[in-house]
């Protein structure tokens, strides 16, 4: 019990400090230390000590994440910087604004985010791709820049990650291994969930933009964004230099089924080929992109390390046991799964991590109870994925930290809108879905 208290104390401290704008690079290990300190009194086990749990388990989580994701972060950051420096993102953004209109700037950012994630592009990569594009769209529409991260988070980490049937994002694929389902599991439930989350979220973001304009707030430049020389002669098809690289990345990753590293390299080359007059900027783009990737990568890896420590302390076993709850009817079963995946995703700051932990522990029990209650495994698949994609986006979530680092905004500036659209609305939608579908069984 003391170890369980330590988990909540460490998590609360981490959320508080992250929201106050402190660097997760020192906040995450400090909070991990607090969790381990509480657990020491409860007994960590013969194979672990205070020091080893901190230096081995925490650092192993950080290191494994670095090994798995550094190439993607590095190339994703360079890709975004190339799109920025060459003016490709700016030119495509201007075309989108002309087609959609500045009054629909939110939609102009949401649509590309959703298309990219539904097309299989990692949401981390989408962050790097969409920030320079969204930056130009919000600049043209004169919307406060600190409101942009919430739109990117909602578009990239929302309904196309967990709700819409067939999405190739890992959060939708993990339940397949445990429930024997496919990526299009529970299509009606998924579409209804997308509407329950998508419509209120879009209306909220739009209302926030209108409120900012009425208050006389304007776009604030990002001093770290490079601005292409507008006086430099560019070909008449220049806006294609922003569109074609996106298509190349999408086709290479999803149709040709090549690795994301290859897809990003081809996207970078394509962008420069379409902007030969900007080739002199190659060294600068590589340098700035590399710098940005290290900061974003370190922020995310430190948050993942915190989750790794939580998983090895005694209180985590008690936490998972409490989440299984009583499952005597369809509503209670679906609610139990939603709580398990949601809470564990929130604790680890990762939807995929929380989902994997919850299903590896409880999937067999859920399947057995679902069979007795006449519930399709497809419902378990979809409810689990949706719930995992709600509470995971608390302030210590790796993707949120990366997004804020890339956009040079703080939690204090931008997290409120992220919380409403990516946490509150999905949680409420999940409760509605659990009750309605549970009663209907």
CB 376 within 8 A of CB 370: yes
Instruction: State the Cα angle at 141 between 237 and 120, rounded to 5°.
Output: 65
pLDDT at 119: 65
- List the one residue out of 416, 439, 438, 419 whose CA is nearest residue 427: 419
**Mean of pLDDT over the chain:** 83
Confidence of residue 21 (pLDDT cuts 50, 70, 90): low
What is the model's pLDDT at position 231? Answer: 40
> Quick one: pLDDT at residue 288?
77
Burial of 361-372, coded b for 16+ CB within 10 Å and e otherwise, reads bbbeebbebbee
Which residue has better confidence, 256 or 155?
155
Does 364 fall in a domain? Answer: no
CA separation for the pair 71, 67 (Å, rounded): 8
Residue 391 in any domain: the answer is no
Cα torsion at 419, 155, 284, 70 (round to 10°)?
80
Q: Is the pLDDT of residue 232 over 70?
A: no
Q: What is the DSSP letter of 103?
A: G
Please check the confidence at residue 125 and state whether its pLDDT lies above 80: no
Per the structure, the complete domain to which residue 138 belongs is given by 66-220+235-301
Residue 135 lies in a domain: yes
Domains in the chain: how many in total?
1
Determine the pLDDT at residue 71: 85
Residue 45 has which token pair?
């086990």
- What pLDDT, on a 0 to 100 scale, did the predictor assign at position 206? 94
Residue 432 domain-assigned (yes or no): no
Report pLDDT for 190: 94
Judge whether 429 lies within some domain.
no
Q: Are 256 and 266 in contact (CB under 8 A)?
A: no
Residue 52 tokens read as 């080893």
Asked if residues 293 and 76 have their Cβ atoms less than 8 Å apart, the reply is: yes
Mean pLDDT of 184-206: 95
**What's the pLDDT band for 305 if we cut at 50, 70, 90?**
confident
Q: Which of 44-48, 179-183, 322-326, 390-394 has the lowest mean pLDDT?
A: 44-48
| CA–CA–CA angle 101, 105, 108 (5° rounding) | 90
Distance of alpha carbon 284 from alpha carbon 11, whole angstroms: 39
Residue 193 in any domain: the answer is yes
Q: Could you tell me if 34 and 306 are in contact, meaning their C-beta atoms sit under 8 angstroms apart?
A: no
Q: Is residue 93 over pLDDT 90?
A: no
Question: Does residue 143 surpass a pLDDT of 90?
Answer: yes
pLDDT at 204: 96
Query: Mean pLDDT over residues 349-356, rounded?
Result: 78
Q: What is the dihedral of CA 229, 233, 238, 242, to 10 degrees?
A: -20
Q: Is 41 exposed, middle or buried (0-12, 13-18, 19+ CB in 10 A)?
A: exposed
pLDDT over 80 (residue 145): yes
* Nearest C-alpha neighbor of 137 from the set 101, 105, 112, 114: 105
Largest Cα separation within the chain, whole Å, is 70
**353 within a domain of the structure (yes/no):** no
Give the rounded percent of residues in the chain with a pLDDT score beyond 70.
90
Residue 8 inside a domain? The answer is no
Q: What is the pLDDT of residue 191?
A: 95
Cα 422 to the chain's mean position, in Å? 9
- Place 120 in a pLDDT band, splitting at 50, 70 and 90: low
pLDDT tens digit string along 22-68?
A: 777 888 888 888 888 887 765 655 555 667 777 788 888 888 878 87
Better-scored residue on pLDDT, 376 or 119: 376
Please compute the mean of the pLDDT values over residues 299-324 and round it to a whole number.
Answer: 76
Question: CB burial class (10 A; 0-12, 13-18, 19+) of residue 337?
Answer: buried
């Amino acid at each position: 019990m003391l170890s369980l208290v330590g988990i909540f104390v460490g998590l609360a401290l981490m959320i508080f400090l992250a929201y106050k704008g402190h660097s997760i690079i020192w906040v995450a290990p400090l909070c991990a230390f607090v969790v381990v300190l509480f657990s020491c009194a409860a007994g960590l086990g013969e194979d672990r000590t205070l020091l080893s749990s901190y230096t081995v388990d925490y650092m192993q989580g950080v290191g494994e994440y670095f090994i798995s994701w550094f190439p993607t972060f590095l190339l994703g950051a360079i890709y975004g910087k190339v799109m920025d420096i060459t003016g490709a993102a700016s030119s495509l953004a201007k075309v989108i604004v002309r087609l959609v209109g500045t009054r629909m700037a939110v939609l102009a950012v949401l649509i590309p985010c959703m298309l990219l994630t539904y097309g299989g592009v990692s949401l981390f990569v989408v962050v790097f791709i969409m920030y320079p594009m969204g930056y130009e769209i919000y600049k043209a529409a004169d919307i406060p820049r600190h409101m942009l991260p919430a739109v990117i988070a909602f578009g990239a980490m929302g309904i196309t990650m967990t709700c819409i049937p067939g999405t190739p994002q890992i959060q939708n694929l993990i339940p397949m291994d445990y429930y024997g389902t496919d990526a299009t599991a529970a299509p009606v439930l998924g579409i209804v969930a997308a509407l329950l989350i998508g419509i209120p979220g879009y209306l909220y973001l739009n209302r926030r933009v209108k409120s900012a304009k009425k208050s006389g707030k304007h776009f604030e430049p990002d001093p770290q964004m490079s601005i292409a020389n507008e006086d430099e002669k560019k070909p008449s098809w220049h806006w294609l230099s922003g569109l074609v690289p996106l298509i190349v990345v999408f086709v290479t990753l999803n149709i040709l089924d090549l690795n994301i590293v290859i897809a990003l390299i081809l996207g970078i080359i394509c962008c420069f080929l379409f902007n030969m007059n900007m080739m002199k900027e190659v060294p600068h783009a590589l340098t700035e992109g590399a710098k940005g990737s290290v900061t974003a990568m370190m922020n995310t890896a430190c948050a993942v390390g915190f989750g790794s420590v939580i998983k090895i302390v005694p209180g985590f076993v008690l936490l998972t046991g409490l989440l299984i709850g009583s499952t005597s009817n369809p509503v209670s079963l679906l609610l139990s799964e939603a709580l398990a995946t949601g809470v564990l995703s929130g604790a680890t700051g990762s939807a995929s991590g929380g989902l994997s932990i919850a299903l590896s522990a409880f999937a067999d029990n859920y399947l057995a109870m679902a069979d007795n209650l006449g519930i399709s495994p497809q419902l378990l698949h979809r409810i689990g994925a949706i719930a995992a994609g709600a509470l995971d986006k608390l302030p210590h979530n790796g993707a949120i930290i990366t997004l804020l680092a890339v956009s040079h905004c703080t939690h204090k500036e931008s997290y409120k809108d992220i919380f409403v659209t990516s946490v509150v609305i999905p949680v409420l939608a999940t409760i509605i879905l659990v009750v309605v579908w549970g009663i209907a069984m």
